[in-house]
């Protein structure tokens, strides 16, 4: 069923590309912050296919959606969930939404905390442990963290209220303090000692550990596992270069780059 749906959506995109003249050599790509490393490489690879320039803007998907809704120029929107691009589609701002990658949540912990998948929930609920998350609604990573809280409630009744009350929304909000230039934002939050455990995408956790090697990554147990579906929508269907960028992201070349950064890929059927 998923392959059939993806085939229909990408088929629509392919037909729209075929109907367009080759024009427009600038593409404006808005993409989730968790895609920054991968999409920077994808944009560079796509630029090599012709006389093209990709202008990128990265940030929390919800805030990017609001900027596009407010009239900020954009050609392609790559979100860390399906809801934000579908909202644009429903408003007639974006086209059909295509699933282009998957991610999942992990725990990023301070060194020496000794957390395992089996003890993660107990650690999160411990009174002395500071729990960091991103900001719900503004950043899908925060929404996924609250999905974890809901799963925790089924494992240990009362967990949702405790986790909801103690979660520190440290990133992804309109007023969140940005990390210094060149620093991974999650590694920076942890090295600033603002949290003991931070719930973020596993791809972010890997980049954070590359920034600060003492940090530790903890996989979520199956009972708390939360996956993330990433959605792609074309904002400017009349821009043939933008349409081709969307297809490049779904192509084997684009998918290989996403896979290299730890995303689970889907690709063109």
**Could you tell me the residue ranges of all domains in the chain?**
2-102+229-265, 104-224
Phi-psi region of 208 (alpha: psi -120 to 50; beta: other; left: phi over 0): alpha
Eight-state DSSP code of residue 79: E
CATH of 104-224, one of 3.40.50.1980, 1.20.1090.10, 3.40.190.10, 3.40.50.720: 3.40.190.10
pLDDT at 267: 66
pLDDT of residue 268: 57
Residues of the chain with pLDDT under 50: 1-10, 12, 14-23
Same topology, domains 2-102+229-265 and 104-224? Answer is yes
Cβ atoms 243, 96 nearer than 8 A: no
pTM: 0.89
What pLDDT is recorded for position 69? 98
User: What are the pLDDT digits (tens) for 198-221?
Assistant: 999 999 999 999 999 999 999 999
DSSP-derived secondary structure letter, 265: E
- Looking at the chain, list the stretches that DSSP marks H as alpha helix, in order from N- to C-terminal side: 2-18, 36-47, 61-69, 83-90, 120-125, 140-155, 159-166, 185-191, 202-211, 240-250, 252-260
CA distance 149 to 99: 25
pLDDT of residue 23: 45
Please list, residue by residue across 133-168, b when 16 or more beta carbons sit within 10 angstroms of its beta carbon and e when fewer do: bbbbebbbbbbbbbbbbebbbeeeeebbebbeeebe
Q: Which fold has domain 2-102+229-265?
A: D-Maltodextrin-Binding Protein; domain 2 (3.40.190)
Q: How far apart are CA 64 and CA 92, in angstroms?
A: 16
CA 6 centroid distance within chain: 19
């Amino acid at each position: 069923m998923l392959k059939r749906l993806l085939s229909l959506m990408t088929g629509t995109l392919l037909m729209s590309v075929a109907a367009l003249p080759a024009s427009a050599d600038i593409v404006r790509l808005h993409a989730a912050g968790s895609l920054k490393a991968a999409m920077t490489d994808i944009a560079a690879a796509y630029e090599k296919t012709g006389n093209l320039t990709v202008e990128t803007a990265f940030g929390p998907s919800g805030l990017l959606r609001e900027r596009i809704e407010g009239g900020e120029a954009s050609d392609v929107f790559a979100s860390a969930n399906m809801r934000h691009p579908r909202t644009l589609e429903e408003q007639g701002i974006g086209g059909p939404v295509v699933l282009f990658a998957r991610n999942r949540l992990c725990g990023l912990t301070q060194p020496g905390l000794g957390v395992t998948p089996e003890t993660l929930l107990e650690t999160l609920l411990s009174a002395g442990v500071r729990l960091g998350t991103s900001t719900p609604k503004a950043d899908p990573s925060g929404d996924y963290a609250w999905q974890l809280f809901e799963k925790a409630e089924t494992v240990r009744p009362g967990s949702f209220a405790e986790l909801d009350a103690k979660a520190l929304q440290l990133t992804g909000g309109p007023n969140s303090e940005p990390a210094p230039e060149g620093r991974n934002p999650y590694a920076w939050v942890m090295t600033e000692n603002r949290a003991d455990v931070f719930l973020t995408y596993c791809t972010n956790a890997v980049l954070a550990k590359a920034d600060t090697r003492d940090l530790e990554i903890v996989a979520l147990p199956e009972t708390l596992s939360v996956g993330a579906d990433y959605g792609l929508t074309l904002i400017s269907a009349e821009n043939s270069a933008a349409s081709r960028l969307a297809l490049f992201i779904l192509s084997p070349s684009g998918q290989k780059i996403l896979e290299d950064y730890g995303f689970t890929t889907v690709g063109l059927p």
